[in-house]
Amino acid sequence: MALRVVAVLNQKGGVGKTTTSANLAYALADMGFKVTVIDLDPQGHLGVSLGIPAVKQLKGIDAVMLGEESVENCLLSIKDNLQLVVSGRRLQEIEQLSDGGAKRGDLLRQAFDGQFDDQDFVFIDCPPSSGVLVANALFATDEILIPMTGDYLSLQGLSHMMATIKKFEIALQKQYQKLLVLSRFNTTRRISKEVLAILMKHFPNQILPTVIREAALLAECPGIGKSVLEYKPGSRSARDFRQLARDFIEGKVM
Ligand SMILES: Nc1ncnc2c1ncn2[C@@H]1O[C@H](COP(=O)(O)OP(=O)(O)OP(=O)(O)O)[C@@H](O)[C@H]1O
Ligand SMILES: [Mg+2]
């Protein structure tokens, strides 16, 4: 299987990027795929969610992007088939880099070159912004996974983000494979169904059919430092993510 490098991206905060990155990666690793997750958010929440608190000594993707470390030296094993690169405490400095022109957007892609030949998937958990870090993710990937909530304001945010992605497509002369996932879906709200209907109209065949339902359990997981698949494997949320992983592998869309 060819390596797939996927940016988990949405400029809007709190939509479920990190939760999706952690749990989808975990589910794919359980299925036997070799998966690496990269925490590209200075907040370091992906590391925390997988049981690696933001310890400042750990070398992370910051050192890799600054050209001080190879990716290989920064891989932390989370479980069989799953490894993590933490954000590192200097990632925020890279976000604020103002010199280097287009080159500062290409740090990640260059650092990745040939580093993941033994992997099936690399997921990049992006910060909720549209600065240098996100530019680096877009240089380094061909696929974008967009977590969405089922509310009205996220629809507005989405059209803004699609315009940003389009700009990158033109500048970099490539077309991203874009997939949407409803990552915080409240099945009892009418607005959720309305948002889903609008999304299906505007993004046909680009939405993963399994929705991740809103669940208090998912909000508890980062505090425990475990994916829901490890913490409560029999839960509804764990089932949602296992099903989502199958959709993702089989290329199922709606
Ligand atoms: N389906 C869900 N049900 C309930 N809570 C959820 C769900 N998905 C995510 N959460 C919780 O919502 C909060 C935000 O989720 P998460 O951190 O994954 O979003 P994010 O998009 O990565 O945020 P940021 O933009 O800050 O990086 C977290 O507390 C998380 O545990
Ligand atoms: Mg996040």
Domain ranges of the chain: 4-250
The residue to mutate among 43, 182, 211, 218, having the most atoms of ligand 1 within 8 angstroms of its beta carbon, is: 218
pLDDT, residue 243, reads 98
| Residue 180: pLDDT over 80 | yes
4-250 maps to CATH 3.40.50.1240: no
Mean pLDDT, rounded, for 234-245: 98
**Percent of the chain whose pLDDT exceeds 70:** 100
Residue 179 beta carbon below 6 angstroms from any ligand 1 atom: no
Among 33-37, 60-64, 154-158, 225-229, the minimum mean pLDDT is found in 154-158
| Residue 56: pLDDT over 80 | no
Task: Tell me the average pLDDT of the chain.
Answer: 96
| Residue 132: pLDDT over 90 | yes
E strand or H helix that includes residue 223 = helix 216-224
pLDDT, residue 146, reads 98
**Other beta carbons less than 10 A from residue 232's beta carbon:** 18
Tens-place pLDDT, residues 118-127: 999 999 999 9
pLDDT, residue 109, reads 97
Residue 41 beta carbon below 6 angstroms from any ligand 1 atom: yes
pLDDT, residue 20, reads 98
User: For the whole prediction, is pTM greater than 0.75?
Assistant: yes
Residue 215 beta carbon below 6 angstroms from any ligand 1 atom: yes
pLDDT band at 202 (very low <50, low <70, confident <90, very high): very high
* Residue the block writes with tokens 């009205």: 152
Alpha-carbon distances of 38 from 116, 127, 243, 253, rounded to whole Å: 12, 11, 23, 25
Phi and psi (nearest 5°) for 144? -130, 125
Task: Give yes or no for a contact between 47 and 55, defined as CB atoms under 8 angstroms apart.
Answer: no
Mean pLDDT, rounded, for 182-188: 97
Phi and psi (nearest 5°) for 163? -65, -40
pLDDT, residue 53, reads 85
| Residue 65: pLDDT over 90 | yes
Task: Give yes or no for a contact between 126 and 6, defined as CB atoms under 8 angstroms apart.
Answer: no
User: From ligand 2's centre to the CA of 148, what distance in Å?
Assistant: 13
| Residue 55: pLDDT over 90 | no
User: From ligand 1's centre to the CA of 18, what distance in Å?
Assistant: 7
Residue 126 beta carbon below 6 angstroms from any ligand 1 atom: no
Give, in degrees to the nearest 5, the angle at Cα 75 between 222 and 53: 30
